[in-house]
């Protein structure tokens, strides 16, 4: 293990790097176009430009033959009809849409993309599309002085990724996630660039191992793949929200989750018996701490055989599930892909008999070691296998389970490479390909199989899925937790940029193991992490085997009291959060977002790692270090009210805020509003009363907020059973006027009025509501 010691930096150890030889695509020889797709034959390869939508274009290079334009795993959108104006000059071909201008230089073949105002988004300069003898394909792009990069899915480190290098290769990483630990479990080969207040995005649609080098070298950054085509989409923005809407138009949006999945979830590797689970549930109820989910980690199974229960420790799972359900708690079991090699185990028998496992070209089944020992791996790239696997979930759905936790689906294997042999073949629905090519989509396809199977079995109820691995588009099936972090303050700090960048990468439903997975947590860390968890989109406390227990009551009553306050706060904020989740499901915008998403013109927000926004008007500024009770908070332009103290702060500057252990700084933008519900009992979580907290603006400001609600667990909303209100808040010198401007949908909730509380009125301001009662607005006129 000399590489792990200082020997690694012994003088003379520097690697002698051979110069890498790229072949440039060369000069354009000829081109043709059909139906908004332009095909170019160049000196050393082929390229295509496809106008996908007004503000999305696709560029493809293939060194061997004309680009193949179908077969994406990530892209679900159909190409739209786009009107393209084309102008040809000597060495140039200009292609214009409403939102983009593409300039193709013929000699050498270079593509420059401009926005509709003629401002360069992406340009190639002396270097363009290239490849190497070994099949690697690369795009070089000029790095601009003010470029800042975000996204890349699940990466450690800071928010702004300029200067970093990343790889996409789904990997099980138990080793501490430090700022340079890469790759992790998810591969989302996509980034968003912010430059002087404007944003554009690039999605590199390639499933091979891909690399992004955002460290400027000779004026360029680059992205490359080990194989396949250089196939990427450029999204024109112009704002960060536009880029996200464009990216999620391409790769799909999150299905609206059941409300219960937004609640607090308790997990541990593992609660090992029914008795322990019942005890745990009882503790929550008796202590009045809300909880929606208890997870069953691998110990619930019989010898880690998926789709089975340990008969001694979990003899009556159905009864356990229904009793817990009575208490308002659901069980979510873990399901890993590895199927134990055991000739007497029905799942293994079916897999072998019906030829459903991954195999080598020569026909041998691939075996790898995971929790159950020698295991075979279903080939999720095949639709028959997905169907079979999905159907197997009846074991769970028929006893009342509505949520599944997919783990180890990179797939993780306990060997040197941490995964399956790259030479294993996948059926790939009739287009066989190696694991080297399809590794990164194994988790995505497992998630698809699980989600679709559960959806079919739940008779109209919404399934919940939690997955560790994924690829671009994983949001179509479920939520993501950020894997095996540790109970370190640094990992609490890392949670913020990591979850924000996942949100920018189209995955709005994400969160860390609150409290930290490995390593022993401690009271202060757990309390501070719970405060953050209460506002991260996914909220689960999970800890590893052998570490101290970290349920909210494990550190004495004072700490329990604080944690209870924040878990309850999560429920009070549920109407607001659920509206944001709905927004995410229709527009792709994240629930938890960086400040620059709302204030793109404010460069001070570009690498703000220790604050985040919930929606467009709330800033959370948690404490992320031990013994700290004062912190600086940056508030962008406008006025902001401290949600707890009511104190008003002027934006555009930094404030020093005092924060005791039981406090979490929450700032709401003046002139806007948030929705709150009440929390009555664990069993009855739907609020009977909705309150709207309006924070008075000064003059002539209008804020339109949407409020969304539905039954929270079925798909009835798809056929009109929802409530969507557009509420206008108009602050002027003498009044704050609140009115329901529009109501959509036919869902009838338990409340028929909204209690309006206006905060921070000036002496001359009065409240004007659109009905007689001065504290309520009615849903129905
Ligand atoms: C992996 C998961 C972790 C889980 C454990 C046992 O380490 O990341 O969450 O508890 O496996 O299943």
pLDDT at position 267 is 98
Residue 165 gets the label, from left (phi > 0), alpha (psi -120 to 50) or beta, of: beta
DSSP string, 484-541: S-BS-HHHHHHHHHHHHHHHHTT--SEE-EET-SBS---HHHHHHHHHHHTTSSS-EE
484 catalytic? Reply is yes
Ligand 1 near 154 CB (within 6 A): no
Ligand 1 near 405 CB (within 6 A): no
Under-50 pLDDT residues of the chain: 1
CA distance 172 to 186: 10
Ligand 1 mean position to 14 CA, how many Å? 37
pLDDT at position 780 is 75
Q: How far is CA 231 from the centre of its chain?
A: 23
Count other C-beta atoms under 10 Å from residue 604's C-beta. 14
Ligand 1 near 385 CB (within 6 A): no
Atom of ligand 1 nearest to the CA of 513: 9
Count other C-beta atoms under 10 Å from residue 532's C-beta. 25
Q: Where are the domains of the chain?
A: 23-251, 673-779
Residue with tokens 């079995």, as numbered in its chain? 457
pLDDT at position 75 is 98
Q: Strand, coil or helix: what is 244?
A: helix
Query: 239 is written with which tokens?
Result: 């704002």
Ligand 1 near 334 CB (within 6 A): yes
User: In what helix (H) or strand (E) does residue 444 lie, and over which residues does it extend?
Assistant: helix 442-457
CA distance 234 to 103: 14
Ligand 1 near 159 CB (within 6 A): no
User: In what helix (H) or strand (E) does residue 717 lie, and over which residues does it extend?
Assistant: none
Atom of ligand 1 nearest to the CA of 268: 10
DSSP 243: H
Atom of ligand 1 nearest to the CA of 544: 10
Ligand 1 mean position to 291 CA, how many Å? 21
> Are residues 533 and 514 in contact, defined by beta-carbon separation less than 8 angstroms?
yes
pLDDT at position 699 is 80
Query: 691 is written with which tokens?
Result: 């309150």
HEC secondary structure over 539-587? CEECCCCCCCCCCCCCCCHHHHHHHHHHHHHHHHCHHHHHHHHHHHHHH
Torsion of CA 513, 519, 521, 525, to 10 degrees: -70
Query: 707 is written with which tokens?
Result: 């409020």
Ligand 1 near 407 CB (within 6 A): yes
Ligand 1 near 184 CB (within 6 A): no
Atom of ligand 1 nearest to the CA of 270: 10
Q: How far apart are the first and last CA of the chain?
A: 74
Query: 331 is written with which tokens?
Result: 């069980």
Of 170, 160, 664, 539, nearest to 380 by C-alpha is 170
Atom of ligand 1 nearest to the CA of 412: 1
Ligand 1 mutation target, pool 517, 519, 538, most atoms within 8 A of CB: 517
Atom of ligand 1 nearest to the CA of 336: 12
What is the sign of the dihedral through the CA atoms of 569, 571, 572 and 573?
A: positive
Torsion of CA 427, 189, 538, 441, to 10 degrees: 10
Please list, residue by residue across 726-749, b when 16 or more beta carbons sit within 10 angstroms of its beta carbon and e when fewer do: ebebbbbeeebbbebeeeeeebeb
410 catalytic? Reply is yes
CA distance 379 to 229: 23
Residue with tokens 């719970």, as numbered in its chain? 530
CA distance 229 to 60: 7
pLDDT at position 781 is 66
Ligand 1 mutation target, pool 173, 297, 487, 513, most atoms within 8 A of CB: 297
Q: Choosing from 103, 136, 484, 513, which is the catalytic residue?
A: 484
Q: Strand, coil or helix: what is 167?
A: strand
Residue nearest to atom 5 of ligand 1 (CA): 269
> Are residues 97 and 104 in contact, defined by beta-carbon separation less than 8 angstroms?
no
Considering the domain 673-779, what is its CATH architecture?
Sandwich (2.60)
DSSP string, 347-397: HHHHHHHTT-B-B-TTSPBPEEEETTEEEE-B-TTSHHHHHHHHHHTHHHH
What is the sign of the dihedral through the CA atoms of 403, 542, 187 and 209?
A: negative
Count other C-beta atoms under 10 Å from residue 117's C-beta. 8
164 catalytic? Reply is no
Q: Choosing from 407, 437, 448, 598, which is the catalytic residue?
A: 407
Backbone angles phi, psi at 11, to 5 degrees: -55, 140
DSSP string, 102-124: EEEETTTTEEEEEETTS-EEE--
CA distance 31 to 43: 12
Interacting residues of 402 by C-beta distance below 8 A, sequence separation 6+: 258, 330, 454, 458, 461, 462, 463, 464
Decide whether 23-251 matches 673-779 in CATH topology: yes
What number does CATH give the domain 23-251?
A: 2.60.40.1760
Ligand 1 near 297 CB (within 6 A): yes
CA distance 402 to 393: 10
What is the sign of the dihedral through the CA atoms of 566, 572, 573 and 578?
A: positive
Please list, residue by residue across 279-294, b when 16 or more beta carbons sit within 10 angstroms of its beta carbon and e when fewer do: ebbeebbeeebbbbbb
Of 565, 509, 504, 558, nearest to 534 by C-alpha is 565
Ligand 1 near 172 CB (within 6 A): no
Ligand 1 mean position to 370 CA, how many Å? 11
Ligand 1 mean position to 269 CA, how many Å? 7
Ligand 1 near 231 CB (within 6 A): no
Ligand 1 mean position to 226 CA, how many Å? 29
CA distance 188 to 203: 8
Residue nearest to atom 7 of ligand 1 (CA): 484
Ligand 1 near 31 CB (within 6 A): no
Of 204, 198, 205, nearest to 99 by C-alpha is 198
């Amino acid at each position: 293990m000399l590489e792990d010691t200082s020997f690694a930096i012994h003088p003379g150890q520097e690697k002698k790097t051979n110069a890498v030889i790229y072949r440039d695509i060369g000069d354009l020889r000829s081109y043709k176009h059909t139906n908004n797709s332009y095909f170019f034959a160049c000196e050393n390869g082929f390229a295509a430009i496809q106008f996908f939508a007004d503000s999305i274009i696709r560029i493809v290079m293939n060194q061997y033959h004309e680009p193949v334009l179908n077969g994406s795993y990530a892209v679900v959108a159909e190409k739209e009809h786009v009107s393209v104006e084309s102008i040809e000059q000597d060495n140039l071909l200009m292609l214009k849409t409403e939102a983009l201008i593409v300039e193709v230089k013929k000699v050498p073949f270079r593509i420059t993309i401009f926005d509709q105002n003629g401002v360069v988004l992406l340009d190639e300069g002396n270097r363009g599309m290239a490849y190497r003898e070994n099949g690697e394909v690369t795009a070089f792009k000029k790095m601009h002085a003010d470029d800042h990069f975000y996204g890349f899915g699940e990466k450690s480190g800071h928010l702004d990724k300029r200067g970093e290098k990343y790889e996409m290769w789904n990997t099980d990483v138990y080793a501490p996630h430090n700022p340079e630990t890469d790759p992790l479990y998810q591969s989302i080969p996509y980034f968003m660039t912010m430059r002087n207040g404007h944003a554009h995005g690039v999605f590199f649609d390639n499933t091979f191992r891909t690399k992004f080098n955002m460290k400027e070298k000779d004026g360029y950054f680059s992205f490359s793949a080990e194989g396949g085509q250089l196939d990427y989409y450029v999204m024109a923005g112009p704002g960060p929200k536009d880029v996200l809407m464009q990216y999620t138009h391409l790769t799909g949006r999150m299905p609206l989750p059941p409300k219960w999945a937004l609640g607090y979830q308790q997990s541990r590797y593992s609660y090992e018996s029914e008795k322990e689970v019942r005890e745990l549930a009882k503790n929550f109820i008796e202590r009045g701490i809300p909880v929606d989910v208890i997870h069953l980690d691998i110990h619930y199974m019989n010898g880690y055989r998926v789709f089975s229960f340990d008969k001694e420790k979990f003899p009556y799972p159905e009864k356990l599930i229904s009793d817990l359900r009575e208490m308002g708690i659901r069980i979510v079991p873990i399901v890993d892909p590895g199927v134990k090699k055991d000739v007497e185990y029905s799942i293994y028998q079916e897999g072998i008999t019906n030829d459903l496992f991954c195999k080598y070209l020569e026909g041998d089944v691939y075996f790898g070691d995971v929790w159950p020992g020698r295991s075979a791996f279903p080939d999720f790239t095949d639709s028959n296998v997905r169907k079979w696997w999905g159907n197997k979930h009846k074991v769970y759905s028929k006893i009342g389970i509505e949520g599944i936790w997919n783990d180890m689906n990179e797939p993780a294997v306990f060997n040197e490479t941490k995964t399956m042999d790259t030479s294993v073949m996948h059926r790939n629905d009739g287009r066989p390909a190696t694991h080297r090519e399809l590794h990164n989509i194994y988790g995505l396809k497992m998630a698809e199989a699980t989600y679709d199977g559960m959806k079919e079995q739940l008779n109209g109820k919404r399934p919940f899925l939690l997955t560790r691995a994924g690829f671009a588009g994983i949001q179509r099936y479920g939520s993501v937790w950020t894997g095996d972090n540790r109970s370190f303050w640094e990992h609490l700090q890392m949670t913020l940029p990591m979850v924000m960048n996942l949100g920018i990468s189209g995955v709005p439903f994400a969160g860390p193991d609150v409290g930290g997975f490995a390593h022993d947590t401690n009271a202060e860390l757990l309390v501070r992490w719970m405060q953050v968890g209460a506002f991260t989109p996914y909220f689960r406390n999970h800890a590893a085997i052998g570490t101290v227990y970290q349920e909210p009551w494990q550190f004495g009553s004072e700490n329990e009291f604080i944690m209870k306050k924040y878990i309850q706060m999560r429920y009070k904020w549920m109407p607001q959060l659920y509206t944001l989740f709905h927004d995410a499901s229709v527009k792709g915008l994240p629930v938890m977002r960086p400040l620059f998403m709302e204030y793109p013109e404010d460069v001070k927000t570009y690498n703000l790692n220790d604050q985040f926004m919930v929606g467009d008007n709330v800033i959370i500024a948690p404490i992320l270090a031990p013994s700290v009770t004062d912190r600086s908070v940056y508030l962008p332009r406008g006025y902001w009210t401290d949600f707890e103290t009511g104190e008003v702060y002027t934006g555009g500057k930094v404030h020093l805020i005092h924060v005791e252990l039981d406090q979490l700084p929450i700032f709401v933008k003046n002139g806007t509003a948030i929705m709150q519900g009440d929390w009555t009992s664990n069993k009855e979580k739907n609020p009977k009363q909705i309150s709207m907290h309006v924070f008075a603006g000064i003059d002539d400001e209008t804020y339109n907020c949407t409020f969304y609600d539905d039954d929270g667990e079925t798909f009835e909303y798809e056929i009109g059973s929802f409530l969507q209100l557009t509420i206008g808040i108009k602050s002027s010198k003498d009044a704050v006027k609140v009115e329901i401007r529009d109501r959509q949908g036919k869902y009838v909730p338990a409340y028929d009025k909204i209690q309006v509380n206006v905060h921070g009125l000036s002496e001359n301001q009065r409240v004007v509501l659109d009905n007689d009662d001065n504290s309520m607005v009615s849903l129905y006129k």
